[in-house]
Amino acid sequence: MADDTRAGGRLEDNGGGTLMIHGSLRSDDVVRLYDALPIDARTLRLELTGVSAVDSAAVAMLLDWRWRQQAIGGALQIEHAPDSLRRLAAIGGVDRLLGIEGITTGATAK
């Protein structure tokens, strides 16, 4: 596979409320993905194992998505967040809001 840090983030729906993001999740990717994010009155499980790069826009997008989910009675459960995303969220003081505080994954995104 080519360098994933250059591959724009893409959202994959695995069915049953399970979603996966692959590739980069930086500002350009967030702008492109934002309108494709499903909002559902159930719990959506978001798998981030395939995320290769993040910036603060990823944190903002995930917070907004989580809040929009909660506003209609749903939830967003984030799984396998890369260490770089956890660090950015912790620096911003929103790791608890995202539900990713204290999770050690060993995953590294640039």
- For position 101, what pLDDT does the model report? 82
pTM of the model: 0.85
Domain 10-98: CATH superfamily, name plus number: STAS domain (3.30.750.24)
Count of positions (residues) in the chain: 110
Work out the percent of the chain whose per-residue pLDDT is above 70.
85
Cα angle 80, 15, 62; round to 5: 40
Work out the percent of the chain whose per-residue pLDDT is above 90.
81
- For position 6, what pLDDT does the model report? 44
- For position 8, what pLDDT does the model report? 81
What angle in degrees, to the nearest 10, is found between the helix axes of 56-71 and 83-91? 80
Q: Tokens in use for 110?
A: 């640039």
Listed range (21-25, 38-42, 50-54, 102-106) with the worst mean pLDDT? 102-106
- Tell me the average pLDDT across 14-25: 94
51 and 9 in contact (C-beta within 8 Å)? yes
Mean pLDDT of the chain: 88
- Tell me the average pLDDT across 5-31: 89
